[in-house]
A and B are shown apart, each in its own frame.
Chain A
């Protein structure tokens, strides 16, 4: 054993990622059809006329077996045809197009702020374990982890938009705005997202570094008289790289979910709000499309985390 090359291992991960993606698509489909009984009747409610129910059944192709509809849906989806919205009749891909860009803009800006700061603070907390800096970081992460995202959002809104009046309370962006104006408009939701994910990232980074620092080989390096700097750079850092890369990817994945609530707080027109509207209107094609996009990004980020840590840590390439 152990002779497998890195390429084969990465390929294996990619294949298992594709399988996961397939399972996820199956679950999106089953999830929206989990209701016992007729989907069309459930969407239209009790008062619907039989004609209306039949019309919706035709539109959703409900007279075909579920497995066939799933196949068709997945086939169309893979070819870029996301279907039509039930509520507005518009193409789902048109509805999603601008929204997806807005959400990515918000999430990436938040990531650029949050990741260096939180990884740095986590590292700091680990290096000064049980000192004042570590304790205050640990306590504040506990508070942030316990705080619902919308509370952080509203506190920032109250402070940044109402009390100080520096930032707009409604985060609207349009193509006619300059990049700086767009950044100004999303400042509050971006800061909220950054705060929401930072606590998790800091906590995970601290734990990852501490678990490396508690290894016997670090103690050995200390005993043979290596300087602290050398221990951290040559002994601890290469081993902590894999878990930290993993954490960065997980942070990005977490951002993708956090964005749903934050968009609602600031009325930001992104994918999250689109999906919430779709769910409340029971607009199934739109819910399925949004759900599949969110889940695919999430799966892809987790897969990247897995592959990066495989590349960064040679020991993980060998089966136990």
Chain B
């Protein structure tokens, strides 16, 4: 792990620093701040000052502590949704590649149908039916993203399953379980790790966009997208209040994308040296 980080190029190191800084800020920041995220501490959309580093929001709450707690909400929801997507997509993908036949056919067709849809539109349709509670949002995001995870896992696992050493393992009569955990999983892992990063960014932007449209996380809870929405009017007065939470989200996304790009290059270099 340490050796791998040392081997990263400069872009990936910057990305990793951004991600670590962001996570530390959203975990420890709200604890260290003198204010709570629901406390009214000043005027409406007050400019930045020594007391409120980023100014205040539309009802006079400290914007910095709001962004930190909102960022935490965004990270938690996206992380759970991405884990959910992998928990659904990976086993199905590997199973489809290994079992094949009618099982593969049915799951692949179903996934193709979901993927024929633009993601945000399908999300809106489903949300109109299941409502916007946090568990419903997470479930919906997990299922939507699992289609892409399924496709990727199936493709990689099918490649691996066709390798000679897998044929030999099959002929040797290894158990299915041994086969999955010892042969297939280690070989698909590098691809899945980078995909996890991409899915996480996608989830964070999707949930923020939904909240921005008023159809994601509902008040009194708030994520970064919701903060953009609630402060939207400030822009006509030339205040940056709606831009700052959006910048925080972009900052996180850029960090994760830099790490993913670095990992991809790292894997490519390693494959070349093999």
Please list the residues of chain A having a beta carbon within 8 angstroms of any beta carbon in chain B: 20, 23-24, 27-28, 31-35, 39, 42, 142-143, 145-151, 154-155, 157-158, 162-163, 169, 253, 256-257, 260-261, 264, 275-276, 278-280, 282, 284, 287-288, 291, 294-295, 298-299, 302
**Across the two chains, which residue of chain B brings its CB closest to A261?**
B209
| Inter-subunit contact A257/B119 (CB<8 Å) | yes
A169 to B122, CA, bound (A): 29
B147 interface residue (CB < 8 Å to A): no
Against A, the Cβ 8 Å flags (1 = close, 0 = not) of B194-225 are 00000001000100110011110000000001
Write out the residue numbers on chain A whose beta carbons fall within 8 Å of the beta carbon of B236: 162, 169
| Inter-subunit contact A278/B128 (CB<8 Å) | yes
| Inter-subunit contact A276/B124 (CB<8 Å) | yes
| Inter-subunit contact A151/B129 (CB<8 Å) | no
Write out the residue numbers on chain B whose beta carbons fall within 8 Å of the beta carbon of A28: 125
| Inter-subunit contact B128/A279 (CB<8 Å) | yes
Write out the residue numbers on chain A whose beta carbons fall within 8 Å of the beta carbon of B113: 20, 23-24, 27
Write out the residue numbers on chain B whose beta carbons fall within 8 Å of the beta carbon of A146: 201, 250, 253-254, 256-257
B181 interface residue (CB < 8 Å to A): no
A150 to B240, CA, bound (A): 13
Q: How many A-B residue pairs have CB under 8 A?
A: 139
**Across the two chains, which residue of chain A brings its CB closest to B247?**
A151
A204 to B250, CA, bound (A): 21
**Across the two chains, which residue of chain A brings its CB closest to B224?**
A148
B121 interface residue (CB < 8 Å to A): yes
**Across the two chains, which residue of chain A brings its CB closest to B251?**
A146
Kindly provide the distance from the CB of A196 to the nearest chain B CB, expressed in whole angstroms.
11
A27-B114, A31-B125, A287-B125 in contact; A150/B257 too (CB < 8 A)?
Answer: no
A252 to B89, CA, bound (A): 28
Which 9 pairs, one residue from A and one from B, show the smallest C-beta to C-beta distance? A146-B253, A151-B246, A31-B125, A257-B118, A279-B128, A146-B254, A23-B113, A291-B125, A287-B128
**Across the two chains, which residue of chain B brings its CB closest to A276?**
B213
| Inter-subunit contact A256/B118 (CB<8 Å) | yes
| Inter-subunit contact A276/B250 (CB<8 Å) | no
Q: Which of A24, A31, A288 contacts B116 (CB 8 A)?
A: A24
In the assembled complex, 25 residue pairs joining A and B whose CB atoms fall closer than 8 Å, in A order, are A27-B122, A32-B125, A35-B130, A142-B257, A142-B261, A145-B257, A146-B256, A147-B253, A148-B246, A148-B249, A150-B208, A150-B228, A151-B246, A162-B235, A260-B213, A261-B209, A261-B212, A264-B212, A276-B215, A278-B128, A280-B215, A287-B125, A288-B125, A295-B116, A298-B121
A253 to B236, CA, bound (A): 31
Q: Which of A145, A154, A169 contacts B242 (CB 8 A)?
A: A154
B40 interface residue (CB < 8 Å to A): no
| B120, B124, B201, most chain A CB atoms within 10 A | B124
A129 to B236, CA, bound (A): 42
| B201, B215, B225, B235, most chain A CB atoms within 10 A | B235
A23-B116, A257-B118 in contact; A150/B246 too (CB < 8 A)?
Answer: yes
Kindly provide the distance from the CB of B193 to the nearest chain A CB, expressed in whole angstroms.
18
A1 to B249, CA, bound (A): 52
Kindly provide the distance from the CB of B90 to the nearest chain A CB, expressed in whole angstroms.
23
Write out the residue numbers on chain A whose beta carbons fall within 8 Å of the beta carbon of B240: 158
| Inter-subunit contact A148/B116 (CB<8 Å) | no
Write out the residue numbers on chain A whose beta carbons fall within 8 Å of the beta carbon of B228: 150-151, 154
A150-B212, A158-B240, A162-B235 in contact; A284/B257 too (CB < 8 A)?
Answer: no
| Inter-subunit contact A20/B213 (CB<8 Å) | no
**Across the two chains, which residue of chain B brings its CB closest to A303?**
B116
B117 interface residue (CB < 8 Å to A): yes
Chain B residues with a Cβ closer than 8 Å to the other chain, count: 46
B68 interface residue (CB < 8 Å to A): no
| Inter-subunit contact B120/A148 (CB<8 Å) | no
Write out the residue numbers on chain A whose beta carbons fall within 8 Å of the beta carbon of B209: 148-150, 261
| Inter-subunit contact A154/B235 (CB<8 Å) | yes
B258 interface residue (CB < 8 Å to A): yes
B127 interface residue (CB < 8 Å to A): yes
**Across the two chains, which residue of chain A brings its CB closest to B110?**
A23
Write out the residue numbers on chain A whose beta carbons fall within 8 Å of the beta carbon of B131: 42
Write out the residue numbers on chain B whose beta carbons fall within 8 Å of the beta carbon of A39: 129
A302 to B243, CA, bound (A): 34
B238 interface residue (CB < 8 Å to A): yes
Q: Which of A27, A149, A157 contacts B117 (CB 8 A)?
A: A27
Write out the residue numbers on chain B whose beta carbons fall within 8 Å of the beta carbon of A260: 120-121, 124, 213
Write out the residue numbers on chain B whose beta carbons fall within 8 Å of the beta carbon of A151: 228, 243, 246-247, 249-250
A150-B209, A155-B243 in contact; A291/B238 too (CB < 8 A)?
Answer: no
Write out the residue numbers on chain B whose beta carbons fall within 8 Å of the beta carbon of A291: 121-122, 124-125
| Inter-subunit contact A154/B246 (CB<8 Å) | yes
B134 interface residue (CB < 8 Å to A): no
A279 to B116, CA, bound (A): 21
**Across the two chains, which residue of chain B brings its CB closest to A142?**
B257
Kindly provide the distance from the CB of B51 to the nearest chain A CB, expressed in whole angstroms.
25
| Inter-subunit contact B118/A253 (CB<8 Å) | yes
**Across the two chains, which residue of chain A brings its CB closest to B118?**
A257
A23 to B125, CA, bound (A): 15
A155 to B240, CA, bound (A): 9
B27 interface residue (CB < 8 Å to A): no
